[in-house]
Structure 1
Amino acid sequence: MDVYQEAVSYLETQHVPVVAEADVLEDVFQEEAVSCFLSPLHSESLDFPDTPTLLSPKEMLDRRLAVVRGILESEEVYLRELDTLLMPMKALRASAGTSQPVLSSQEVQTVFYHVPELRDIHQSFCSGLKARLNAQLQTELGSDEETGLTCRKSELEVGDLFLKMINHLSLYGGFIENYEKAVEVVRKCTQSDPRFRTLAESLTSNNAADKTRTKYTLEALLYKPLDRVTKTTLALQDLLKTTPVEHKDYAALQEVLRLSRSFLSGVNESSQSKRGVTLSHGMRRQLIRDGFVVDASEGVRSLRHLFLYTDLLLCTRLKQTAKGKQDQYRFSWYLPLAGLKLRWAADEERPPDANVRLHTLRTKMYLLRQQLQQHSKGTKVMTLAAKNKKKLEQMELMLLTYSPNYRLELHSPSGKSHTLYFSSLYELDEWREAVHKLTTDNVETVPPDLLTLTSACVKLRMTQQPPLHSIQAGDGEESVRGTLSVAVHSAFGLQQPACVYVCVEVDGYEFYDKQAQTHSSVNSLNPHWDQELSFEVDSAKNMQVLCVGQTDGQEESVLGKTTLKLEPKTLSNRWRRQTLQLGQVEVTLSLKHSSHPLEPPSSTLQLPPVFGVPIQTVAQQEGVLVPHVLRCCVEEVERRGLDEVGIYRISGTTTDINMLKAAFNSNLREAVTRLRSAEVNAVSGLLKLYIRDLPESLIPPELFQSLAKTLDIQDLNSRLASMLSLLESCPDVNRHTFLFLLHHLQRVAQRQEINKMSLLNLATVFGPSLLRSPVEGLGPSGPTVDISQEVVIQTQVIFSYLQCNNLPEAQTSLPYDSDPDIETTRM
């Protein structure tokens, strides 16, 4: 007969009802090392966001009241758990004096050490808290005259109750010191005595809310006081954040929080040596970082909980259990850090069907959120809302699993490889840096006890649950909603020339699924983009900015990164320029925000086309004065085409040019990437094609006759002055683009001894496309000319402009600092 059947038989003889075998809780600590009994808690993990300054005093106190009520509910659950833990104590003590004791008196004392005292402390605290809240409720109902209490929201004081409870922290210290011994006794007796095993695995407690019964193991209940220390500290932090500074409780709560943090810090330090295994060089195995990632090592994406220890990476599957039961972890794989190689990249573009499925998923999530926001109170409505919230969480888990696009490959010297996916490049780089820092120490790996290590994850974990929107929603903190526009200008401080792009990520309920990148710059120490990125954001609080570079054909690397907190009160619908410090690299950008109700998610559409579209339209779409296609082609020609014989006269292959044209019409970032590796004559051919495909020439046709007349002016300086004066009448985009191109062609002609392209040669190539005569009939300044005269005029006009040594400088981007009252800020 197996252990389970023995327990069932014993219970039946005692007339105790037995649930089905599937409902019996597995002991999640069965394989766990007792030395790993407390998760490391760092002080910074307790820092919650500051309370929004825009909250009214009434709203602040309402939130405070909600926090206090939440603490009371949590205390009542904890008391029921302590009562359940103490239920078998009297019977075990009584049996200790018999001829066949289940436990000896000493063992009973060890198992329940300080538990009765802890129960009395929390009973007193809970009763006091309930009395204060009941008095508060009676006051709100207008019955304060009957009770004689003046306990308005602004006067609800609970700080003294917390001070009284915190003064008994030494009891928790004693419990924690004894915890190892208590668990050891429980495990030993569970294995050796079927009577005790049945008792230890059959503890139940009534739930006050729904009258159901929750089943526990004795060992799981012994863990509750350990978990309570951390929860109490977090609750105190939350309560302090919602308590006005002028409130009578504020000073008391500050002192209570200080004492609680100090106690936790001391416990962590004293248990530090108990959590690890000794490694080489005197180091010990410790948990460095953990979090949820997507594991695709077996060809199927799965959400996993990843743990980074001093000497290894452990990948686990989280198995969440019912309320009142401990979560469980199952081993997936592990890799030693010694010799581990990492490689990251943005994954290839998703297939269209995958994008359609993700769009459908986001649309359903949007509709569910709308329904949840519109629900009013009522039992049926609340039941429906709970179901919808559950659906929303399931959909978000799917989105969290299938939308990540950043890939991190792990390659071990033993030949084992695993692939992880991240939603955020920032998060990926955080993991990469943490792993790289440990691998550089070249620590030898002590083979782990995988069962023990995996079981310890419940207690060691720092991240409790996946970053779902619905979990983070409704926290009351100020956030940004609407359209956030980011204009990325330039970067400075590179250590060596590199092809660089900037990646911007904006969160939504702490989930970074809004991302965009600039195109990659040419190899430069001071790259410039002046590229505008736009985001439709929902409850955004942070923006992450990364500078990514590639040097001499090497793999891309993150050169620097930073996080910028988005504060609605500092954002406006006018551009504000900022300089961000990303390590040694400085990135200058501008921000503006337009607040508006959110629309349903739009499907992924192709970008508006670039070729064959009026240049003003393209410039407006891109937020610039000179379209990116022209600027990128010019940069590329100047980078590797100035010494090319016949540049702009010898065109590239039609196939290559059409491929680049299609890329610029659909995806700027991909187009620039292809441009970097394209044959240089294809790049120059693309530039000529863009100008030729414009519906109207850069110099408006109505100026054709006026410019033709200036050619009759014999004095070159007078002629150029007249021509520049006519140029001033052109639209801004046309004028600046034309000047930008003229400066470029002058630089090309400076190398004419090598490339054989003089100013006249270049004017002959570009004249017919840069200046066109009126299409038909009479122009505004006279009749049109025949084709032979037209070509001569076109060439001579452009040649005259190219001969000008004092051409005005071209402005490539719009002035983003449009608000004179806002100065540029550096961060």
Structure 2
Amino acid sequence: MELYREADHYLMSYGISPVTENENEMRDSDLLQDVFNAETDWVSHSPLQTEPCVSSAPIADSPDDLLQKRMVVLKGLLTSEEIYLTELETLLTPMKALKAAAGTSQPVLSTEEVRTVFYQIPELRDLHKDFYTSLKTRLLSEKGLDQEDRSQNQGTLESAVILYQGNPQVPVGDLFLKFVNQLGVYRGFIDNYENALEIVQKCMLSDQRFRTLAESMMSFKGSDRVKTKYTMEALLYKPLDRVMKTTLMLHELWNHTPPDHHDSVLLQEALRLSSSFLSGVNERSQCKRAVMLSKGERRQLIRDGFVVDVCESGHNLRHLFLYADLLLCVKLTSTGRQAHYRFCWYLPLVGLKLQWASEQLPSSECQIKISKTRAKMYQLKQALQQHMKGGKGSFSRAVERLRRKLEECELWLLTNTPSFTLDLHSTSGKSHTVRLYSLYDLDEWKEVIEIQSGKSIETVPPDLLSVTGSCIKLRMTQQPPLHCVKSNEQSHVCGSIYVMVHSACGLQHPSSVYVCVEVDGFEFYDRQKQTCLSAFSVTTVWDEELVFQVDGAQQLFLVVVSQSESDSQDNILGRAVLQLDPDIMFKKWKKLTCSLGHIDVTLSMKYLPHPLEPPSCTPLIPEPVFCVQIAQVAKQEGVLVPHIVRSCVEEVERRGLNEEGIYRISGASREIQELKHAFNTNYREAVSKLRSLDVNAVSGTLKLYFRELPLALIPSDHFQGFSVAIDIADPYVRANHMLAVLQGLPDVNRNTFLFLLHHLRRVAEKQEQNKMSLSNLATVFGPSLLRPPVDRVDISQEVEVQVQVINLYLQCHNLPEPLLTKPLDLEELET
């Protein structure tokens, strides 16, 4: 309320009441308090709890109501600009005197220090003065005043704020667009702010004359010269505060401008530019703002954002602030029109330990509710789009209700959908757990916390009341990560995104690695998928296809993770983000290499825009792989060789090639059944088990998979052809016939068979250690891979044919290499 109180005090100093007896003016005054409240920002209207949400967009019953409130916003803008200009002029008052003193024998500040303290402030004053003058002139001219009246009223605040009752259609969008295009002036000031503040604080301690000046800077407002006292530090902060409010002002003005108004498009573009600039400022100035401790030390704000706090009372959305020496978790509360943060907990960074993990799947009841909520969100968005097409109905109560319900659904998903947990353990024994939906975000938080923890030393205990109270002004993140509250998106991706993750290079030592791929947008469908774990080696190959149904996606995130061999602990190796632009997205596969730290991941992408089908209301249950036709398993996984075959083969080659009797000696039945269950229910868990169980259980699981296929890997209708082929005397003719039969197999069967044959040949290369020759391996696998037709009765001949066929294939010198995935129709290759 500070900003509004100053404007109110100024008007009252003239004997003019800012609130008239008219009821509409009283409502206007209330609106001004909402729009220009110094202690409140967009987040005060954002859904920060799981209770029903309050939308950020104001409700208007009719275009006339919107225009009336638009006038109120414009009046408030002029009031705010007038006050801000007065503050800038006050800050610049001592500049000339300090410059002059710098050339004397007793300078207060050096010439360079004067230049640093007042850097870009004259340019900011000129920018806002031009904007203020243009806006006020535009409003006065619309009232119909002649040139003489305007010149007489040029310096009078009430002429613009109180007397203006003119045409509500007054065009101002061009003025705002011109203004935001010059916001780059703030960039230099923001980058220089720390240096300017440091000089001021240093000189206040060393020079009594400067301290007196800096602590008592007087502003003289109005014709009767009403005094307002400032400190130089407070005035230096005003531009930072102002640039953060620019987007809010534009947001409110655009919200109260009817869609058919000629300013609507211009204000929308100005809002986009302002939001983009503010986003850049937040990224570049994370360390530029500070909170003062009780003993004068400076506590810098490094990062903030929304997380889900896991506690005994449940999962709650909270705002997490990372300062240079502590983590602060707070909750937004509202009292009437005022919004503020309430303290939840804090942890000092000294000695802070972090550990992250993926959460387990929720209960079946929760999964059903998640699926139903996603389906409801989809229906709400479709209904919202239908209402928005009506034009004038864009600000109706029905639209507002739909928006509010959409926010509530997405907020519920944010706090209840399985995610990633970050455990925080303090040396004091206190621990807290927060959840983040995105692994990319979690790694960003983890990295910056660990960096600050390494730098942090013991500091004075925080004044929790002061630090919590400062959060409203210091926060860099304005809203929860709800996609439904984002508006006016220029472009986004809607349809199917195909991501084929090929391989990775750059590993420093053998590891099992997987890649987590995430997309943003509405949560109607799964926004996160992972590849399988690679073999334990320095060379990682997946060739695995991940398919995303997306609505409103703008970015794709990649995180590469390794899993230790001993305790299955995940370790993030690197991350990267790709921008998704529908104008340049490709409908054919495009191959590219992304750098994720010291790891390079090669992948291919394809985008197919199309209308989306409603999401299913029933939760997706993992499809089993055992006792299922191999073509169906491969289709589900988007590969030509099922993952279970690749995983078991890779593990056997990693630690079973020297194992005597591998594939002949059976593993423990209990362990084999345990692996079978894991592959049917949770693939990542199965791959983790592969590394810990006896390698004979792994080889036994592979044999069991082929043995339990409903149809043999080599279809039985080829059995007769093989019976004829093995009787061919000429070995070259026989081999060519065998290869011709092989080419006639279905794609999945042929490539899986080839993959297995090459593996068995590598096993036989170590027969001196493992005692498994080609003939031994053919004897083990023949009956599982090749089955005779059901009408065959000569069992002895059947077994002989099965073993001989596999043995002949194992001895082929020109055996083709298998394909793990279907060849991609690549558009181009990028490195």
Report the equivalent of 1:659.
674
Give the Cα separation in 2 of the matches to 1:825 and 1:730. Answer: 34
Structure 1 residues 774 and 525, CA gap change in structure 2 (3 angstroms): same
2:348 matches 1:340: no
2:512 matches 1:499: yes
Report the equivalent of 1:459.
473
Instruction: Pick the aligned partner of 1:677 from 684, 687, 692.
Output: 692
> Secondary structure at 2:666's aligned position in 1?
coil
Structure 1 residues 512 and 343, CA gap change in structure 2 (3 angstroms): farther
2:552 matches 1:539: yes
Give the Cα separation in 1 of the matches to 2:794 and 2:181. Answer: 97
Structure 1 residues 390 and 181, CA gap change in structure 2 (3 angstroms): farther
Map 1:89-238 to 2 at 5 A.
Answer: 124-130=133-139, 227-232=241-246
Identity, in percent, stands at 48
Give the Cα separation in 1 of the matches to 2:455 and 2:530. Answer: 34
Give how far 1:527 is off: 0.8
Give how far 1:436 is off: 0.5
Give the Cα separation in 2 of the matches to 1:171 and 1:824. Answer: 43
Contact 2:492 2:553 in 1 (8 A): yes
Give the Cα separation in 1 of the matches to 2:484 and 2:772. Answer: 63
Report the equivalent of 2:372.
360
> Secondary structure at 1:772's aligned position in 2?
coil
Deviations 1:593-622 (A, max 9, x none): 222222222232223332233322322222
Give the Cα separation in 1 of the matches to 2:762 and 2:355. Answer: 40
Report the equivalent of 2:809.
801
Structure 1 residues 131 and 575, CA gap change in structure 2 (3 angstroms): farther
Structure 1 residues 167 and 572, CA gap change in structure 2 (3 angstroms): closer
Map 1:76-87 to 2 at 5 A.
Answer: 76-79=75-78
Aligned residue identity for 1:297? C
Map 1:221-260 to 2 at 5 A.
Answer: 227-232=241-246
Instruction: Pick the aligned partner of 2:531 from 518, 525, 529.
Output: 518
Instruction: Pick the aligned partner of 1:394 from 405, 408, 413.
Output: 408
Instruction: Pick the aligned partner of 2:582 from 563, 568, 577.
Output: 568
Structure 1 residues 469 and 168, CA gap change in structure 2 (3 angstroms): closer
Contact 1:342 1:408 in 2 (8 A): yes
Give the Cα separation in 2 of the matches to 1:771 and 1:339. Answer: 61
2:540 matches 1:527: yes
The TM-score, its normalising length taken from structure 1, stands at: 0.70
Structure 1 residues 302 and 164, CA gap change in structure 2 (3 angstroms): closer
Deviations 1:117-138 (A, max 9, x none): 9999876443345579999xxx
Contact 2:666 2:697 in 1 (8 A): yes
Structure 1 residues 440 and 372, CA gap change in structure 2 (3 angstroms): same
Deviations 1:748-798 (A, max 9, x none): 12222222222111111111121222222xxxxxxx461111111111111
Report the equivalent of 1:349.
361
Structure 1 residues 622 and 124, CA gap change in structure 2 (3 angstroms): same
Contact 2:560 2:596 in 1 (8 A): yes
Give how far 1:162 is off: 7.9
Give the Cα separation in 2 of the matches to 1:433 and 1:617. Answer: 41
The TM-score, its normalising length taken from structure 2, stands at: 0.69
Aligned residue identity for 2:770? N
Report the equivalent of 2:101.
none
Instruction: Pick the aligned partner of 1:301 from 315, 323, 343.
Output: 315
Report the equivalent of 2:382.
370
Give the Cα separation in 1 of the matches to 2:401 and 2:293. Answer: 45
2:431 matches 1:417: yes
Give the Cα separation in 2 of the matches to 1:161 and 1:306. Answer: 33
Contact 1:79 1:122 in 2 (8 A): no
Report the equivalent of 1:812.
820
Report the equivalent of 1:488.
501
Give the Cα separation in 2 of the matches to 1:127 and 1:510. Answer: 45
> Secondary structure at 2:583's aligned position in 1?
helix
Structure 1 residues 74 and 560, CA gap change in structure 2 (3 angstroms): farther
2:306 matches 1:292: yes
Give the Cα separation in 2 of the matches to 1:164 and 1:761. Answer: 79
Give the Cα separation in 2 of the matches to 1:470 and 1:126. Answer: 33
Give how far 1:395 is off: 2.5
Give the Cα separation in 1 of the matches to 2:143 and 2:650. Answer: 73
Give the Cα separation in 2 of the matches to 1:789 and 1:169. Answer: 85
Give the Cα separation in 2 of the matches to 1:134 and 1:686. Answer: 85
> Secondary structure at 2:311's aligned position in 1?
coil
Give how far 1:444 is off: 1.8
2:508 matches 1:508: no
> Secondary structure at 2:396's aligned position in 1?
helix
> Secondary structure at 1:286's aligned position in 2?
strand
Give how far 1:275 is off: 3.9
Between 426-435 and 797-806, report the one with greater CA deviation: 797-806
Deviations 1:322-358 (A, max 9, x none): 55x4x30111111110000000010122111221222
Give how far 1:575 is off: 2.1
Aligned residue identity for 1:398? W
> Secondary structure at 2:468's aligned position in 1?
helix
Give the Cα separation in 2 of the matches to 1:676 and 1:512. Answer: 32
Map 1:624-773 to 2 at 5 A.
Answer: 624-773=639-788
Give how far 1:799 is off: 1.4
> Secondary structure at 1:433's aligned position in 2?
helix
Structure 1 residues 330 and 118, CA gap change in structure 2 (3 angstroms): farther
Give the Cα separation in 2 of the matches to 1:512 and 1:601. Answer: 7
Report the equivalent of 1:789.
797
Q: Which stretches in structure 1 are left out of the alignment for 5+ residues?
A: 1-15, 27-31, 39-67, 87-116, 136-150, 186-199, 201-219, 240-248, 777-783
Give the Cα separation in 2 of the matches to 1:334 and 1:551. Answer: 32
> Secondary structure at 2:594's aligned position in 1?
strand
Give how far 1:642 is off: 1.7
Aligned residue identity for 2:823? P
Contact 2:294 2:463 in 1 (8 A): no
Contact 1:610 1:665 in 2 (8 A): yes
Give how far 1:648 is off: 1.4
> Secondary structure at 1:689's aligned position in 2?
helix
Give how far 1:647 is off: 1.6
Report the equivalent of 1:619.
634
Give the Cα separation in 2 of the matches to 1:79 and 1:422. Answer: 42
Q: Which stretches in structure 2 are left out of the alignment for 5+ residues?
A: 1-19, 34-38, 42-66, 86-125, 145-168, 202-210, 217-227, 229-233, 254-265
Contact 2:302 2:324 in 1 (8 A): yes
How many residues align? The count is 658
Contact 1:76 1:126 in 2 (8 A): no
Deviations 1:63-116 (A, max 9, x none): xxxxx9999874433446789999xxxxxxxxxxxxxxxxxxxxxxxxxxxxxx
Deviations 1:36-88 (A, max 9, x none): x99xxxxxxxxxxxxxxxxxxxxxxxxxxxxx9999874433446789999xx
Give the Cα separation in 2 of the matches to 1:735 and 1:167. Answer: 66
Give the Cα separation in 2 of the matches to 1:624 and 1:661. Answer: 20
Contact 1:408 1:420 in 2 (8 A): yes
Give the Cα separation in 2 of the matches to 1:321 and 1:160. Answer: 37
Give how far 1:380 is off: 11
Give the Cα separation in 1 of the matches to 2:289 and 2:354. Answer: 30
Report the equivalent of 2:116.
none
Report the equivalent of 2:828.
823
